[in-house]
A and B are shown apart, each in its own frame.
Chain A
Amino acid sequence: MKKFLKNDAVQSLIASLLCILMGLLIGYIVLLFINSAGAGNAILDVLKNFMKTSNPERRVRLLGATLVRTAPLLMCGLSVLFAYKVGLFNIGTAGQYVAGVCASLYAALAWGWGWLPCMLFAIVSGAVLGAIVGFLKAYRNVNEVISGIMLNWIALYTSNMILTLQKQEASHYTLKLKENAPQAILPSLGLDKLFNYDKVSIAIPLAILLAVAVYIVLNRTKFGYELRATGNNKNAAKYAGMAEKRNIILTLIISGGLAGIGGAMLYLTDIEQWSVTATSVPGMGFNGIAATFLGGLNPIGTIFSSFFIQHITDGGPNVDTNLYCAQISDLITAIIIYLCGFVLFLKTAMNRAIDRSAERKAQKEKALAAEKGGEK
């Protein structure tokens, strides 16, 4: 049993579940304070998301909608994770994601590119942004969090400026792909029929494949060996002659590329259009941080945690707005996501508790043995 509990994967899973539970509990308490009558139902509504409707066809369709948004979230999660394994906190994921959105939409609408080149262009854009952070970190030792945050804003307003050239006349949204650039819409491979929803595309299986690829690169290749060594012990990596600067830059390029493709995965489905008057960086990149930690810093775990986070995000609007103000759904999901960041903390606490109980047991055994010895 103890050995089972000592297993890293098991610990991550338990810690993640505990975090979710704590988040739900605190969310519930907040709801109780606002209006005690509907609190229980409200939490259940958030958790149910697509399960709330009894119509099976609608259920599948809503599940599909959640999956469409899970794919980009997973990419942002992988982006954060990849950098984190090398000891870098890439908060610039949010901006790299925006760069991906901008590149893919502009290439589709202005130049009439197909979906694949659009997607590749999105990767390159995110990667370029990541490379800037990487160069600054490697050669000028600029903190990646600071340069990342500042680049987020630069990316946001640059994208707004560029995409204004492709916006609908009557609104502040970009043109719809369906009418203006159907060649750029991601192919669905029949998944749209399965979910009865035309926005479900190859982005979803592709995202999962990329998660597996990230896992393989990190754990099975020479490159991953170097990266994780650098993340675990920078000095030892240097001592072993690993090219530290090159690895930092490459890592942030890959991390940026992952975020960039995430932007393309959402906007090339035409599920939504970019608002060129946006004044805040989309939450997708930041939620990626929560997804990574909730997923136990494991690419495969991040697949499930991304789905969960998107699941409750989509479940949020189910909350009865007659009882609660409209913002409450965002607040509850935000609380749960926030608590998701506590996974590492809980893991440490758990390990300590296990060690302590082992110590106590050993002591008791010794005392027992001593007693027995005394009887003889």
Chain B
Amino acid sequence: MEAPYAIEMLHITKRFPGIIANDDITLQLKKGEIHALLGENGAGKSTLMSVLFGLYQAEEGVIKKDGKEVQIRNPNDANDLGIGMVHQHFKLVECFSVLDNIILGIEPTKNGFLQKKEAREKVMALSEKYGLAVNPDALIEDITVGMQQRTEILKMLYRDNEILIFDEPTAVLTPQEIEELMQIMRNLAAEGKSILFISHKLAEIMAVADRCSVLRKGKYIGTVETKNTTMEQLSAMMVGRNVNFHVEKKPQHLGEVILDVDNISVASKVHKKDAVKNVSFKVRAGEIVCIAGIDGNGQTELVYGLSGLEPLKSGHITLKGQDITNASIRKRSTSGMSHIPEDRHKHGLVLDYPLEYNLILQRYFEPEFTDKAGFLKRGPIRSYADRLIEQYDVRSGQGAVTPARSMSGGNQQKAIIAREIDKDPDLLIAVQPTRGLDVGAIEYIHKQLVAQRDAGKAVLLVSLELDEVMDVPDRILVMYEGEIVGELDPKTTTQEELGLYMAGAKRNEVKA
């Protein structure tokens, strides 16, 4: 009799110094099913997949393929077993064509020369069979994210993979592209492929998966049939309690214009096109304005332009009536701009510095921390750090002297938020401030942002999370391909309408 499971991971335990990333986790993937793996960031999904791919070796537990125990020591072993994965961030060569990317690594050759003709035939046949429309000769850099993803899927199919893993595949897609992807996944499953779908989006899991396994804080919580469960039930399994995502806000008291962005453009680092095109908007004291949009539509570059990390190509920026278009980063900071950066490891922290040095990163030059001769005042630095740690509840192993590197992501983010808010800014720019954090930390950060608004500060929030976009701000500006295509009121709009704007299917004139 044939074994019912394509892949089984039984009682997998993987430890890292200090934490148990996977604690006795069992995952059984049936042949021809779509199986969702649900969990918050940090629940252990990535570690489990890395074990399946041979990137990590589990200390305990076994992996079985078709009922037989197998050893997966490295990604090549996984590939030989027919396991393929579409990563959240695509692994494609930008300046190669779709076809070249698909055959990369297993190019058919004859006497050392490429034989692309048969490869092309095989790719086109697969493309037809599964409804994966791609143009094989287009360069990756020219095609949409959706087509890039289809290229990744074809890559797996071209290698005759039977077990397909999708790691957060919808994070970069528009709602319409997500619907297409779901259909593709159903087609693949119908053709006998087994699919593992990693996500933390409940609606998508309910829509496409047959079964769902839930992880929480490294532990296996359970597996349920999606047709016998509800979103509320899944949510409770995922976070361990019922979560109130709603953010409490006081009535709004709008003040003067703090940030006035007038027709700015910012060049792109990767493309010839401008990343930000003629964008104008205002942020007033006492409001939270959210820039929404799908990742990569110019939000990052917009913030770089505002904070001074990248020069503007054209346009003007005014902060509290003062022209800061050409001002240095330091000048902007001391003029009342605070910036919680998108990437806390790249920009936000000096990881090898102790926490206390990171907490003064924007203020170390002030007389409070540096004496006239240029020596750091170690006493005041320590007491300032201790105050912030206390006030903002930043937890770490050794307090002020803990190396930032050894702190958890949530506490690193709290440290940055403490630093930026304690500067008492007029304008707070927060870029994806809750990315990768657990529910508790997210609630905390939202409260801090709202507290700034209530205290009469201007807050500019850039977010990719729909829940955050709907709940936190007073106004939503949607960015699409470098332009602001719409202004929405979170109280009256719906996620569907927001999705249409984010996908560029709808636009309205923005009143500045």
Contact = CB atoms under 8 A, between A and B. Distances in A.
A362 B15 contact: yes
B17 A221 contact: no
A235 B375 contact: no
A240 B362 contact: yes
B365 interface: yes
B357 A225 contact: yes
Contacts of A233: 346, 349-352
A238 B309 contact: yes
A363 interface: yes
Contacts of A223: 374
Interface string B1-36: 000000000000001110000000000000000000
Interface in B326-381: 328-333, 339, 341, 346-353, 357, 361-362, 364-365, 370, 374-376, 378
Nearest to A219: B376
Contact of A236 (B15, B328, B347, B378): B347
26 contacts: A220-B376, A220-B378, A221-B376, A222-B375, A222-B376, A223-B374, A226-B364, A228-B350, A229-B353, A233-B346, A235-B347, A236-B348, A236-B349, A236-B350, A238-B309, A238-B347, A239-B309, A239-B339, A240-B329, A240-B361, A241-B331, A242-B330, A355-B17, A359-B15, A359-B17, A363-B15
Q: Which 5 A-B pairs have the closest CB atoms?
A: A241-B330, A241-B329, A239-B347, A222-B370, A232-B352
A238 B376 contact: no
Contacts of B59: 363
Interface string A201-224: 000000000000000000011110
Interface in B386-421: none
Interface residues of A, number: 24
Interface string B69-84: 0000000000000000
Majority SS at the chain A contact face: helix
Interface residues of B, number: 33
B348 A239 contact: yes
Contacts of B339: 239
Contacts of A162: none
Given A233-B349, A233-B350, A359-B17, A238 B364 contact: no
A25 interface: no
B328 A241 contact: yes
Contacts of A235: 346-347
A235 B357 CA distance: 16
B380 to A, nearest CB: 13
Nearest to A222: B370
Given A222-B365, A363-B59, A232 B15 contact: no
B161 to A, nearest CB: 32
A326 interface: no
Nearest to A366: B15
A237 B374 CA distance: 18
Interface in A226-282: 226, 228-229, 232-233, 235-243
B329 A239 contact: yes
A358 interface: yes
Contact of A222 (B348, B350, B361, B374): B374
A37 B347 CA distance: 60
Contact of B361 (A236, A358, A359, A362): A236
Given A221-B376, A235-B347, A241-B328, 15 more contacts: A220-B376, A220-B378, A221-B375, A222-B364, A226-B364, A232-B352, A232-B353, A237-B350, A238-B309, A239-B329, A240-B333, A241-B330, A243-B330, A359-B16, A363-B59
Contacts of A363: 15, 59
Contacts of B15: 359, 362-363
Nearest to A356: B17
A187 B161 CA distance: 79
A362 B17 CA distance: 9
A229 B354 CA distance: 11
Contact of B346 (A236, A241, A242, A355): A236
Given A222-B376, A236-B361, A239-B309, A229 B17 contact: no
